[in-house]
Each structure stands twice: as structure tokens, then as C-alpha cells.
Structure 1
Amino acid sequence: MQIIYVGPLYYGGTCLQRMKAMEKLGHEIFPVDTEPKVVQEKKSQFIYRVRRKLFGPPDIVDANYTICNLIKKYPTNILWLDKALTIKPETLRIARKISPKTLIAGYAPDDMAAKHNQSRAFLKGLPYYHVYFTTKSYGVTELESLGVQKAVFVSNAYDPAIHRPVEVSINEKTEYGGPVGFIGDYENERAQYIFYLAQHGIPVRIWGTNWGKKCKLTHPNIRIENKSLWGDQYARAICSFDINLGFLRKINRDLQTQRSIEIPACGAFMLMERTDEHLELFEEGKEAAFFNSKEELFEKVTYYLGHEEERKNIAQAGRDRCLRSGYSNNEILNSMLQFIEKLSEQY
């Protein structure tokens, strides 16, 4: 199929990973990058932030114009919008008028019913989508109530080219890893859990932004790198920790996250917050470990640090589950595209 693929295509982002998966599946892709370097540089500027807050994210790169031109030039099967907050409803209206057979499909790994993930253009454009894929199970009814014709729940996925077991040297383990680690942005509840571990003698190393600026809790057992990791570095860091902690983003009402899949896909041990969706994805105590409280987290960390062989067996079983159950981008996107192809028969 021919697909106009719209979204933030920066290195390390899952949007780019999904686009590459579509290419590997044999589809012809026409990329429209909504966040090239020029946009990323402006995002930190005061004027940009004020404008975004008042009017929503601006279309600095004329993505709307590019989409209209591509629709006119190519008889594409799909216009794929990956959390495309700058795309205007008028653009989608024109696309449907010019090419009635082109299906407009949306996707987002975030909670799109939450205001902090929306824009005015996004909300007004929802009635023009033929289908919207969401990784939030509760998001199906919410998106349809916002005007989407059809919303579909899909699980998170991993990129097999990036999220895979990596042999790390002693030097790399020193550079990236340690006994217990967390990779992700700062949130107060995450800091509270990690601080609890530190108070009880567990050293924790943290990779991610905003920790140095926002975290007020300090302890000799907490090592904050205050730096994001992308691509191969990210996978190497995961493989450098004996235990990878996983926390849900409460502001997004997460029941699973990208890391819920990426950590096991790397063949690494995951200790994640317990949810029904996590228990469906991985068998507890055999393919991953879970916790509900600070006390249980400390208990599980202490236990698994002292049981290396069991920990490694669980990590391998988690990796096997990812392969067996088809959690990769290639497999999940293939099923999504098949759904769109079947849906297109109605138009």
C-alpha cells in the first residue's frame, strides 16, 4: 500500500520506529515530519511555549500544505497521522474530498482524551478520521465520544532492530547500568518509590530528563544522570541493569507503557507496577515481576537481587513471550494495516 505517514520523525522516537516497520512490511511511505530539528529547537523558546499554550502547537514546517500536495499527486491508500497535533481539520476535509478512497487513520501512544495531549486542531479534526488506534483500553469509548468514527485498542510494541538482547562489556555496564535502574522522565510518585528503596539500602541509577531540575529528594544511594538515552544506548542501558524498574505515568492513566514491552524484548528483567493489562501481557513470576506498593517493591528488589539464576530465567522467558505473542511493531502494525484494508472495502 501507499501511505502518507505524518508525525514527529526524530531519532529514537517510536513514531519513526513505526514508520520503519511499515517500510519493512513492504509498503511505500511518503513521510511528513512534523518535528524536524528546526521545530525541536523552537520548542524550548518562550514565544513558542506561549503560542502553544494559547493556540496549540503551530505548524512551522507547513505539514498541512505538504499533505494536501501529496494527496493530489499520489493515489495513496492511507493517510496515517501519528499524534499529529498540528494537522488542521480543513486539511483532513480536503484530503477526503480529493481522494475519497484514502482512509485517514490515527495513532497515539498517549491518553488522547486528556487535555495536555490534545490541540484544538486535533479535536476538531477527529470526525474526519475513519479509524483511530489507541494504546489505552479505556480510550476507545472516549475517542468515539469525541467524534472518531471507529476507535481500536492495540497494545504497545517494541522495535526488534533496537529492543533486543545486547551483550554489554564490563565498561558498558559501568557506564550505563548497575544493580537497579530506571529509565524515564521525572514524576513525583516515581521519585517517592525510588527514595524509599534508597532509604532501605538499595542503590538506584536513573536515566531521564527533569530529574535534576524537579527532584527534591536526595540520597547517597540515588544516582541521577539527568540525560535521555535513545536507540542503541537505550537498549544497552536496559541490558546493563540487573533489575529494570517500571512505573506508570499517572497523568496519562497508564495501564501499560512502551517500556512494558521494550524491557522484556531486550531480554532484561522487568519489575513493573501491577495492572490487569500487564498480567495479560506477561505471566507474573515467570515472565516478569510486578508490585503494588513501596513495601512490595523493596521486597521484590531484595529477593531478585539475591536470586540471579531465577532473575535471568524470568528475563529470558519475558523475551520469549514477546516473540511468541507477536509484540513487535512489525506484527502489531501489520494487523492494524490489515484492519484498515478491510475497513476500506466499505468506502
Structure 2
Amino acid sequence: MKILVVADGIGEEIYDRAFYDAFQNLGHDVHRFTWKEYFRHYQYTNRYETDGNKVKSLYYRLQNKFITGPVTAKINYDLVELCRKVEPDLVFIYRGTHIYPSTLRRIRQTGSLIFGYNNDDPFSSLYPSYFWRHFKKSIPFYDHIFAYRWKNIDDYRKIGYPKTSLLRSYYLKEKNCHLPSPHAAYACDVIFIGHFEDDGRDLAIKTLLDAGVNLKLFGTGWEKSCLHDFFVQKFGPIKPLYHDEYNKALNSAKIALVFLSKLNNDTYTRRCFEIPATQTMMMAEYTADLATLFEEGKEADFFRNHDELLQKIKKYLNDEELLKQIGISGFNRLLAEGHEVTDRAAEVVKEYDRMKGLS
């Protein structure tokens, strides 16, 4: 079928671009619409060529932040015109923060089905009220919305929207994979690659460091931690890792940590698939949801507090055969249950076929 993938287009390799490629790999005719190009003078100078005009930067920045103004109107107008031109069978909107309800109504008039998907939690009280307003008003006009977490299925149903189902995150087999040998720059016993949230994750990492664990830390937002200076003394500047470097780093550690976002009420996260794909052992915050994906102590392990984290880290570092066995078992579970992005794209197509009476 003909599919149009719609998204902001930022961080595209693992988000909307991953679905675009996966739909293509399944043999569909796939088109793409992104709105990052409409904000070329926005402050992301490392992503766009700008002329350095601060007035333009402010003009685009305010419209993108508050999702209003002529640029957002232009995005919606152009999307409708593209749908009229392409005539897609399915419009797959990834994180539709900038899409108006009126736009969805016009697209549906063309005969296309509209599916939504969103890796963040639009019902979280920690987001500013304006951020999800267009998306929430648009919910009734989606033919189906895939929820990233079980909580959001309940959220949709509480507001009277029943056409929803779970579509978990995924890994990319070309990007998240086992490497035969560690990379010297990243070699360590324990690694955490991820953003800072003020949920105690910095204290957990300090607990490990104070106990003498050989640990490396990468990610964004760590300057917000009250322990930032302490970490900089230990590691130097804390930087994010992407793409090949991210995969090399996960492969170079014996144990990779997972902390779950409280902002998005996560009970699992993308790393819960990316880490087992490398055959590195995963040590994650415990949730009942995550424990359904990997068996505790056999395919991954979980901690419920900082003391348990330290205790288990010490245990596994003293038993590297068990550590490696768990990493391999986690990898085998990942393959057996199908958590790659193409598996997710196939779920989307299956729902389309169901709605069209094709299966």
C-alpha cells in the first residue's frame, strides 16, 4: 500500500525515519513529510544552516515552542496538499504535536486512514499545558492510535477513545548489534548512556562510584544535577553518544544500566531492547511490565533501590560467566519475541489490514 510518514524529522534515525525504512523493507510505497525544515532559523544551529539573525531565530523559536503562528499554519496546509497529491492509503503520524484537528478532518476526506504513534506521554502532568493541546484535540480524528505504554491505553479510554493498542519501542538491527571486541575508549564494567532526570539516578551512580565500580557516564542534561561537578571531576565533560559510538560503548561494558523516565511515566524504554541486542547484560529499574519482557536474573536483572543495585553489580562482576550468560539469554529472548522496528511496522500494517477487512 501507499504510506505517508509524518513527523518533526528531528532525531530521525531511530524515530520516524526508522518506520519509513521499515515500511519500505516490507515492500510498501512510502512517502515522507517532516516539519523541521519549516524552522530553519530556529536555534538548532548544529542541525540547520542559519544566517545568525537573532530576530529570525526568536521568531521561529517562539512559534515552534508554543506551536502557533504562520509557520505552523503553513505546515498544516502543506500536509493536506501533499495528501491530496499522493493519495496515501495510510497516514502514519509520529508524535503529532504540530498537527491541527482540522488538518486530520481534511485528510480523512481524501479517503486515507490516519494512525498516530507517540513515544512520549501526552497525558503526563509534567509537560506544559500548551505542548500537547493540538494532539489532544485531534485524538477523535485518528482512526487508530498506538500507545507506547500500557498507561496511555487507559488514558485514551478514560477520555472516551477506544481505538488504541500497544506498540512498544524497538531496536534497529543495523545499528544495535553485537561487536566481537570492546572499544578501548569505552571499556568499563558498568555504563549508563542517557539523559539526566532528578529522580535519584545521579545518586545511584554516585553510590557505585563510591564503591569503586569502574563506571562510565554519557548523556545529556547532566549539568542540571547537583552532582555535576563531582561527575566532571570523575569523567570530564559528560557528552551524549549517538549511532555507531553508542553501539560501540554498549558493547564495551560488562553491564549497562537503565533508568526509566518519570517525565513520561515509563515502565520500560527503548534501551531495554537496544542493550540486549548487543549481548551486554542489562541492569534496569524494576517494573512489573519490564519483568514480562525479560526474566529476572536469567535474561536481565533489575534493582528496586540503590543498595540492591550495588549488591547485584558486585555479584555479577565477581561472576563474569553468569554475566555473559545473562547477556546472551537476553539477546535470544529479544530475537524470539520480535522487538525490531520491522516487527513494529508489521504490527501497524496488520492493524490497517484488520480495519480494511483484509485479514
Q: Is this a same-fold pair by TM over 0.5?
A: yes
Following TM superposition, by how much is the alpha carbon of 1:57 offset from its aligned partner in structure 2, in angstroms? Answer: 9.3
**1:57-96: CA deviations, max 9, x gaps?**
9856943233212221223111110002111111111111
Following TM superposition, by how much is the alpha carbon of 1:288 offset from its aligned partner in structure 2, in angstroms? Answer: 0.5
Amino acid at match of 2:7: G
Amino acid at match of 2:36: E
Q: Which deviates further from its counterpart, 56-65 or 4-13? A: 56-65
The equivalent of 1:258 in structure 2 is: 270
Q: Is structure 2 residue 219 aligned with structure 1 residue 208?
A: yes
Q: Residue 6 of structure 2 contacts residue 16 of structure 2 at CA under 8 Å; is this kept in 1?
A: no
Q: Which deviates further from its counterpart, 32-41 or 323-332? A: 32-41
Q: Residue 206 of structure 1 contacts residue 222 of structure 1 at CA under 8 Å; is this kept in 2?
A: no
- Structure 2, unmatched stretches of 5+, are 46-56
Q: Is structure 2 residue 193 aligned with structure 1 residue 180?
A: no
CA–CA distance in structure 1, aligned partners of residues 281 and 38 of structure 2: 35
Q: Which deviates further from its counterpart, 199-208 or 102-111? A: 199-208
Instruction: Rate the CA distance shift 1:233–1:333 in 2: closer, same or farther, 3 A.
Output: same
Q: Residue 90 of structure 2 contacts residue 115 of structure 2 at CA under 8 Å; is this kept in 1?
A: yes
- Structure 1, unmatched stretches of 5+, are none
Following TM superposition, by how much is the alpha carbon of 1:284 offset from its aligned partner in structure 2, in angstroms? Answer: 1.0
**1:101-153: CA deviations, max 9, x gaps?**
x1110001111212528422212111100110011101112123346451111
Q: Is structure 2 residue 142 aligned with structure 1 residue 129?
A: yes
What SS does the aligned partner of 1:42 have? coil
**1:147-174: CA deviations, max 9, x gaps?**
64511112221111111112345xx2x3
The equivalent of 1:66 in structure 2 is: 78
Q: Which deviates further from its counterpart, 75-84 or 110-119? A: 110-119
Following TM superposition, by how much is the alpha carbon of 1:35 offset from its aligned partner in structure 2, in angstroms? Answer: 2.5
| Matched pairs, number | 340
CA–CA distance in structure 2, aligned partners of residues 11 and 280 of structure 1: 29
TM-score normalised according to structure 2 size: 0.87
Q: Residue 286 of structure 1 contacts residue 314 of structure 1 at CA under 8 Å; is this kept in 2?
A: yes
Q: Is structure 2 residue 305 aligned with structure 1 residue 304?
A: no
Following TM superposition, by how much is the alpha carbon of 1:54 offset from its aligned partner in structure 2, in angstroms? Answer: 4.4
CA–CA distance in structure 1, aligned partners of residues 70 and 283 of structure 2: 39
The equivalent of 2:301 in structure 1 is: 289
Following TM superposition, by how much is the alpha carbon of 1:34 offset from its aligned partner in structure 2, in angstroms? Answer: 2.5
What SS does the aligned partner of 2:263 have? helix
User: Which of 243, 248, 252 matches 2:260?
Assistant: 248
Following TM superposition, by how much is the alpha carbon of 1:207 offset from its aligned partner in structure 2, in angstroms? Answer: 1.0
Q: Residue 195 of structure 1 contacts residue 222 of structure 1 at CA under 8 Å; is this kept in 2?
A: no
What SS does the aligned partner of 1:250 have? coil
CA–CA distance in structure 2, aligned partners of residues 179 and 107 of structure 1: 36
Task: Quote the sequence identity (%).
Answer: 28
5 Å-filtered alignment, 1:10-89, equals 10-36=11-37, 38-39=39-40, 41-42=42-43, 48=60, 50-52=62-64, 54-55=66-67, 59=71, 62-89=74-101
What value does the CA root-mean-square deviation take over the aligned residues? 2.5
**1:164-194: CA deviations, max 9, x gaps?**
112345xx2x323411110100112211111
TM-score normalised according to structure 1 size: 0.90
Query: Runs in 1 of length 4+ with deviation above 6 angstroms?
Result: none
